[in-house]
Structure 1
Amino acid sequence: MSGVDFMERLLDGVVIKWIELGEVAEIYGGLTGKSKSDFDGGNAKYITYKNIFANINVDSSILGSVKMSESEKQNEVKYGDVLFTGSSEIADEAGISSSVTTHFDGPVYLNSFSFGVRFNNDIPVIPEFSKHLFRSSFMRSEIAKTASGVTRFNVSKGRFRKILVPIICPDNPKKSLEIQAEIVRILDTFTELTAELTAELTARKKQYDYYRDQLLRFEEGEVEWKVLGEVLQMRAGQHISASKIMPNSSDEYSYPCFGGNGVRGFVGTKSHDGEHLLIGRQGALCGNVQRMKGQFYATEHAVVVTASNEIDIDWAFHMLTVMNLNQFASQSAQPGLAVGNLQGLKIPLPSIENQKRVARILDKFDALTSSLTEGLPREIELRQKQYAYYRDLLLSFPKPESVEV
């Protein structure tokens, strides 16, 4: 039986009602009144922006900590809530969702730059179902329309409340839950397989990280140490209006434009040419390092790194990666890296010949664990595409004429 036939059979005679989200759920905000110092340790737990962005359901094992007084009144996250990132430097990545599918032992709060959705008690929605629904291609396209901005796109709560969501058998909760559970059963089969492959790849990467750390470990006095600012030039990229960034490459817009987390699109002018490193300087994923070759444009959300004659660019890449620059980000709701702080960090500097030799070894190890053309990374990519196909198929409910597809 094909996927289409299965859906027709599963939904035979089933009523699907599309209702504005604001009519079936309440929307609440994240932490308020918090300063940078409040996130430097703390007595309470909160769900980070990165946790929401990276997981279709919240990972309760990696909660952040925040200082909270007994008299504070903050919104608590509950089982069944759907959490959303409130902003992003890329419009299509604003409003990324993560469902709460576990019960917490105590109060848990929400990152300031995020918000939560809590369905009304009379609306039958399984949390495991919502984790797939709000990541489906159709719902993502609708959510993206609620975001606006110039250098950073923010979700409008007013527009978000008007998003139409499919409610299965609103007058027959038992039937609704049965259909949701069947869809979840099928989709979880794909995500569980992907999780198994990812766990195996993670184990291999840990092995690679061990050997990498051994090759990059030096004691004081063993080699010369210098601060990054002495051997690497670090400068933030340049602002460019979002209206000048195109989603696809063309003859007129041929230069890839990079923000803090990767490619934002393509632009008609370049800011850099040659071999450089890019460090994300803003957001939950700040501190990520990537190599660049050729002509490109870097926005102000990225730090462009240029190597001096004393340091090999590939050696610098591996050293900056192993230094885990994210740990130096400001501990606030919206983390960021200061270029001045990075320039003061120390780095070991063996001879240029040894730098190149070690970099070549690490590049070979890296290829084994991150190549998208072979091995586990390729298998994971194929499974993710398979999951996305069936997710969108199983969640392609009949839509009213007022909903544009």
Structure 2
Amino acid sequence: MSKLDELIRELCPDGVEYKKLGDIATISRGGNFQKKDFLTEGVPCIHYGQIYTKYGLFADKTFTFISEECAKKQKMAQPNDIVMAVTSENIEDVCKCLAWLGDEPVAVSGHSAIIHHNQNAKYLVYYFHSQMFFAQKRKLAHGTKVIEVTPDALVDIALPVPPVEVQREIVRMLDSYTESVVELQRQLTAELAARKTQYSFYRDKLLTFNTPVEWKPMEKEFPFIRNGFVGTVTPYFTSEEQGVRYLEGTNIHDGVISDNEIIYVSKEFHQKHIRNELKNGDILMVQSGHVGECAVVDDKYAGANCHALIIMSNAGHCNSRFVMHYLRSTEGKSKLKKITTGGTVKHILASNMKKFMIPVPPLDVQSRIVNVLDNFEKICSDLNIGLPAEIEARQKQYEYYRDKLLTFAETGNTILSRAEQSRAEQSRAEQSRAEQSRAEQSRAEH
């Protein structure tokens, strides 16, 4: 039996009392300071928007401050109070909160609620992130573009209030589990970063030629280099059934073409710009924005059209994936940077790519290099997919564990407490034995 079970059996054998938040806390609104009032030092302050982006579940230091003069006009949260954001753009984020565990009062902005209570602050915060609380806040939330839960409505939130000793043990268990999840995330993220660094190292090493190798301008191996359509294409958007797949710069990342945004243009538009039709083995390069990002067209995207991308069609004398790997290497990126123009928004011209010099070793050498790099890239890609999935699975496991710990049989409810269940089972057993005894006696009499 765990320590938590022992505490529950000892301190609340008949269930846990559920109370309204208004019975254990006073709830007030935050103040009215704005981001323009932020300072690098002064009185600590928490802006409601930071609860979504900067803070975790608990905080003892702030990222921003306001002047003492500004603080005199503000609402302050005391140590152990809970600060809750009551306005958001979606139902998931509204009512996100943190426990203020600092040593001094903290100023709280508008669109926030300050919950002053007499319970374990971390226990309450864990509950305010549970599915049980989510189900209740959904009923209280209102709005369409801006979702809001008014602080006054929070007083009716029902929650289990076990003895403080039980709250403390639940917090200890959840803190420990949270630390293990965070540590796993750190390790998995570090593993992925290490693999990517290792891949970049081997790619650069394989694409650095110590023996003499022939260098040629791109147009010698890719004689048809041109720009994709540049202009307004929105009027030509259509459905998949009636159109042709259309790729943009947002579809090119990390050496692959993705379905990040799926767009189709009319077949009439495609025919009008048939010179930009993509073929298997073409290299696509982002021309503006995250310039230099490139990928090779495969069967899935052959026959598509594209917008604001440089299209480089292979003449068959070079391995397209070899060239793509070179363009993505440290040396390749450095050389691409030299032909990049523009200020805030960078550009690469197709005319400059025609003159861009690439190494052209024998085709069998190119193929061996591509085979090694593709395999290594697949490992990184699998990690990139698998590790976030593993992190998500652990997060869901944690949420299940948290909600399980925060679920109690309610005193006076039809749901029996553990002690009540035991007594009920004992009563049924005694009743069964009595009935069996009477039956045996009846048979003996007859």
Of the three residues 171, 184, 187, the one matched with 1:184 is 171
Describe the SS at the equivalent of 2:182: helix
Of the three residues 190, 196, 215, the one matched with 2:183 is 196
Q: Quote the residue 2:156 is aligned against.
A: 162
In our comparison, the structure showing a higher alpha carbon Rg is 2
1:13 maps to 2:13:
yes
Flag the structure with higher strand content. Answer: 1
Describe the SS at the equivalent of 2:133: helix
* Shift in CA distance, 72/46, structure 1 to aligned 2, threshold 3 Å: same
Q: Quote the residue 2:109 is aligned against.
A: 111
Q: Quote the residue 2:389 is aligned against.
A: 378
Letter in structure 2 aligned against 1:164: A
Letter in structure 2 aligned against 1:154: E
Q: Quote the residue 1:84 is aligned against.
A: 84
Q: Tell me, in whole angstroms, the C-alpha distance in 2 between the residues paired with 1:196 and 1:15.
A: 35
Kindly, what percent of the aligned residue pairs are identical?
A: 24
Q: Quote the residue 1:37 is aligned against.
A: 36
Q: Tell me, in whole angstroms, the C-alpha distance in 1 between the residues paired with 2:91 and 2:178.
A: 26
Q: Tell me, in whole angstroms, the C-alpha distance in 2 between the residues paired with 1:108 and 1:315.
A: 47
- Listed one character per residue, the Cα deviations across residues 186-219 of structure 1 (whole Å, up to 9, x for unaligned) are 22221010111233345567779999xxxxxxxx
Q: CA deviation at 1:118?
A: 0.9
Q: CA deviation at 1:56?
A: 4.7
Q: Tell me, in whole angstroms, the C-alpha distance in 2 between the residues paired with 1:156 and 1:12.
A: 33
Q: Quote the residue 2:311 is aligned against.
A: none
Q: Tell me, in whole angstroms, the C-alpha distance in 2 between the residues paired with 1:197 and 1:4.
A: 25
Letter in structure 1 aligned against 2:113: F
Letter in structure 1 aligned against 2:92: D
Q: CA deviation at 1:141?
A: 1.6
Letter in structure 1 aligned against 2:347: L
- Listed one character per residue, the Cα deviations across residues 288-309 of structure 1 (whole Å, up to 9, x for unaligned) are xx9832269xxxxxxxxxxx98
Flag the structure with higher helix content. Answer: 2
Letter in structure 2 aligned against 1:114: S
Q: Tell me, in whole angstroms, the C-alpha distance in 2 between the residues paired with 1:345 and 1:291.
A: 29
Q: Tell me, in whole angstroms, the C-alpha distance in 1 between the residues paired with 2:45 and 2:195.
A: 32
Q: Contact 2:74–2:107 at 8 Å: present in 1 too?
A: yes
- Listed one character per residue, the Cα deviations across residues 323-350 of structure 1 (whole Å, up to 9, x for unaligned) are xxxxxxxxxxxxxxxxxxxxx9813334
Q: Contact 1:92–1:141 at 8 Å: present in 2 too?
A: no
Q: Tell me, in whole angstroms, the C-alpha distance in 2 between the residues paired with 1:63 and 1:209.
A: 32
Q: Tell me, in whole angstroms, the C-alpha distance in 2 between the residues paired with 1:114 and 1:66.
A: 17
Q: CA deviation at 1:44?
A: 2.8
Q: Contact 1:276–1:291 at 8 Å: present in 2 too?
A: no
Q: CA deviation at 1:388?
A: 1.0
Letter in structure 1 aligned against 2:407: S
Q: Quote the residue 1:25 is aligned against.
A: 25
Of the three residues 337, 344, 347, the one matched with 1:346 is 344
Q: Contact 2:21–2:156 at 8 Å: present in 1 too?
A: yes
* Shift in CA distance, 276/25, structure 1 to aligned 2, threshold 3 Å: farther
Describe the SS at the equivalent of 2:74: coil
* Shift in CA distance, 139/71, structure 1 to aligned 2, threshold 3 Å: closer
> Please, which runs of 5 or more residues in structure 1 have no aligned partner?
169-175, 212-230, 236-254, 256-272, 279-289, 297-307, 318-343, 355-359
Q: How many residues align?
A: 284
Any residues of structure 2 matched to 1:269-284 within 5 Å, and which?
Answer: 275=248
Q: Quote the residue 2:307 is aligned against.
A: none
* Shift in CA distance, 8/88, structure 1 to aligned 2, threshold 3 Å: same
Q: Contact 1:276–1:292 at 8 Å: present in 2 too?
A: no
Q: Quote the residue 1:138 is aligned against.
A: 132
Q: Contact 1:51–1:62 at 8 Å: present in 2 too?
A: no
Letter in structure 2 aligned against 1:294: I
Q: Contact 1:26–1:118 at 8 Å: present in 2 too?
A: yes
Calculate the TM-score normalised by the size of structure 1: 0.55
Q: Tell me, in whole angstroms, the C-alpha distance in 1 between the residues paired with 2:11 and 2:36.
A: 52
> Please, which runs of 5 or more residues in structure 2 have no aligned partner?
199-229, 240-245, 252-257, 265-284, 295-341, 357-373, 415-446
Any residues of structure 2 matched to 1:170-319 within 5 Å, and which?
Answer: 176-201=163-188, 203=190, 275=248, 292-294=260-262, 310-311=287-288
Q: Contact 2:35–2:47 at 8 Å: present in 1 too?
A: no
Letter in structure 2 aligned against 1:380: I
Of the three residues 395, 400, 404, the one matched with 1:393 is 404
Q: Tell me, in whole angstroms, the C-alpha distance in 1 between the residues paired with 2:86 and 2:412.
A: 29
Q: CA deviation at 1:140?
A: 1.9
Calculate the TM-score normalised by the size of structure 2: 0.50
Q: CA deviation at 1:92?
A: 3.4
Q: Contact 2:286–2:293 at 8 Å: present in 1 too?
A: no
Q: Quote the residue 1:52 is aligned against.
A: 51
* Shift in CA distance, 210/112, structure 1 to aligned 2, threshold 3 Å: farther
Q: CA deviation at 1:126?
A: 1.4
Q: CA deviation at 1:111?
A: 3.1
Q: CA deviation at 1:78?
A: 2.2
* Shift in CA distance, 205/65, structure 1 to aligned 2, threshold 3 Å: farther
Q: Quote the residue 2:333 is aligned against.
A: none
Q: Contact 1:41–1:67 at 8 Å: present in 2 too?
A: no
Q: CA deviation at 1:88?
A: 1.4
